[in-house]
Chains A and B, each alone.
Chain A
Amino acid sequence: MNYRNQTVQESYLTDSWKRLKKNPLAMTGLYILSFLILCSIFLPYFTKNTYYETHLYLKNSPPSIAHLFGTDDLGRSIYARIWWGARISLFVGITAAFIDMCIGVAYGSFAGLSGGKTEEIMMRVADIFYSLPYLLVVILLTVVMGQGIGTIIIAMTLTGWINMARITRAETLRLKEQDFVLAALSLGASTKRILFQHIIPNCFGTIITTVTLTIPSAIFTESFLSFLGLGVRAPVASWGMMASDGLGSLAYYPWRLFMPAIFICITMLAFNLLGNGLRDAFDPRLRQ
């Protein structure tokens, strides 16, 4: 029984993977992301300059061989800061999306499975959170709790999990009606078993897609907050903060703004492309 379940699961995944490989846009996204993640892990160890090291005699110099992307107003290498910033942006994005996933899947599948009054109350509570303007809440929370990576992640996940919960609930409601769940129920399977053996594995595609599409919005929020000056504190680099620093001298030293801006765009684009590809791959019916 268990063995058969496993093979079905695997063939579903291999199928989706095959479909994904045929989608050039999604694969481009995947390659860009792997490149960015590997670079952000290893490159900071190999750069000559660190993100906090200042060379005042070299300040605001344009891109050159010594400083690939130029330097900022304190003579710090933008190249080094970009890769340190990549660590922070990617870390915040991925962690926030992961926490959203854990809370959202647990909440949504529980609400969907229990049904009745419990479900009603749980989803109304989620609706109340959902109707709050997202950015406003995040800004207020960051102001209350003080700056830092931890605060940003907490502030984002506090309202971010609801989207996940709604999607998981909808999927659970759909799956609950299917014959194999009925079969499992009539064989006397416990709620826990149905949840972990049948519901969640079948939601897998939707969950992965949603997570992949949540990450860019989390990265966006982080850079938005840093841009407003509510993000990480100096001297730690983050793409949003670097862009915000560069804004003042846009007319004279445009590379200070454009380098981090280009990286934010590329990362978000790659995640969006991959997410769309995943959605098509997991659910070919959507792609008409």
Chain B
Amino acid sequence: MKSIPGDPFTQEQAIPEEIMQSLYEHYGLDKPLHTQYFKYIKGFLTLDLGPSFKYEGRTTNQIIKEGFPISATLGFVAFFLALFWGVFWGSIAAFHKGRFLDHLAMILAIGGMSVPSFITATFLQYIFAIKLGILPIARWGSVYHIILPALALSAFPTAFIARMTRASMVEVLQKEYILTARAKGLSKYQIWKNHVLKNSFLPVLSYLGTLFASIITGSFIVEKIFGIPGLGGWMVSSITNRDYTIIMGLTIFYSFILLISITITDIIYFFLDPRIKDRFQNYELS
């Protein structure tokens, strides 16, 4: 990362040599690379991700502490929005297989997967904030501020979940126990709730961890467009500012989130799918 041309103190205005030197000394940039590296590792192990080079007096830890709750709120709202509508439309498509609603839902889903999040974001901003003026255009604060960015963020995952749900539900619906359930005279809703949902959700679940991470990384641009002071906005500005410690710190933080979300998915999988539990217990016995 240090091989990126330019450094955080490069400005349009020339800085005197002595000030440059003392700046370098203050942040330890005059030391050889390996010394800097060990210092960083030492900080990392004590959970100190270092100071910002660009904004005096700010540290990476502070930025994460301020930005993460905002990003996480947005991410969770978008995630559950996507999960709900994705499963909803996927189920409708699966139960109406080959008919109008199925085609409609799947065309919408392909459309949703084809529109990048920054385009969805700007379209929503234009229609609802600029033309209709019913929702705030940007910034963060009230509940209304969440609606547009969350919608923009959730468009792609909604489409993705809808397609996967449909595919796995169509498969489950052909099983014999569904036929039995139908023969017993259960209503469509009961069949869906008791027999289809859980069995068809497992393949979808395995993608949710990565999907969650993609929502978080996708929020870079959405946060920038809507001027939300979350982690994504910091990431973008620290890249343009060459703020090494923040880029590094945020990257580590994002990878950490990714790992945690994948682990959580695995744990949920373990509880939902009795086959895995069985295998695990057999493994312990042998």
Contacts and interface: CB of A to CB of B under 8 A. Distances in A.
Contacts of B5: 146
Interface in A197-233: 216, 220, 223-224, 227-230
Contact of B170 (A25, A144, A288): A288
Given A247-B225, A288-B174, A133 B114 contact: no
Contacts of A272: 110, 113-114
Contact of A247 (B115, B122, B217): B122
B114 A250 contact: no
Contacts of A136: 217, 251, 254-255
Contacts of A229: 240
Given A144-B3, A224-B116, A135 B110 contact: no
Interface stretch (B13-21, B23-31, B123-131): B123-131
B110 A269 contact: yes
A224 B130 contact: no
A171 B119 CA distance: 36
Contacts of B113: 268, 272
A223 B217 contact: no
Contacts of B130: 250-251
Interface stretch (A79-87, A105-113, A257-265): A257-265
B258 A133 contact: yes
Given A133-B255, A136-B217, A288-B174, A273 B110 contact: yes
Interface string B166-204: 000011001000000000000000000000000000000
Contacts of A56: none
A33 interface: no
Interface in B149-176: 170-171, 174
Given A228-B220, A247-B122, A269 B4 contact: no
Contacts of A132: 255
B43 to A, nearest CB: 20
A45 to B, nearest CB: 29
B111 interface: yes
B1 interface: yes
A216 B114 CA distance: 8
A131 B261 CA distance: 12
**Highest count of chain A CB atoms <10 Å: which of B122, B130, B174, B217:** B122
A50 interface: no
Interface string A69-110: 000000000000000000000000000000000000000000
Interface string B1-13: 1011100000000
A284 to B, nearest CB: 15
Contact of A228 (B123, B236, B258): B236
Contacts of B115: 265, 268
A142 B189 CA distance: 50
Contacts of A131: 258, 262
B221 A224 contact: yes
B20 to A, nearest CB: 23
B119 A265 contact: yes
Contact of A135 (B125, B217, B225): B217
Contacts of B125: 250
A272 B224 CA distance: 27
B239 interface: yes
A227 B114 CA distance: 16
Contacts of A143: 4, 239, 247
Contacts of B239: 139, 143, 228, 230
Contacts of A224: 116, 118, 221
Nearest to A135: B217
A254 interface: yes
B41 interface: no
B32 to A, nearest CB: 20
B107 interface: yes
A243 interface: yes
Contact of B114 (A135, A258, A268, A288): A268
A250 B1 CA distance: 35
Contact of A268 (B1, B116, B123, B220): B116
Interface string A234-266: 000000000100010011001001100100110
A288 B1 CA distance: 50
A228 B235 CA distance: 11
Q: Which of B5, B119, B218 has the most CB of A within 10 A?
A: B119
A1 to B, nearest CB: 39
Nearest to B262: A131
| Most chain A CB atoms below 10 A, which of B116, B247, B255 | B116
Given A144-B4, A268-B114, A227 B221 contact: yes
Nearest to B216: A133
B101 to A, nearest CB: 16
A265 B115 CA distance: 5
Contacts of B240: 229
A254 B1 CA distance: 38
What 9 pairs across the A-B complex have the smallest Cβ distances? A269-B114, A268-B114, A261-B119, A135-B217, A251-B130, A265-B115, A272-B114, A220-B116, A272-B110
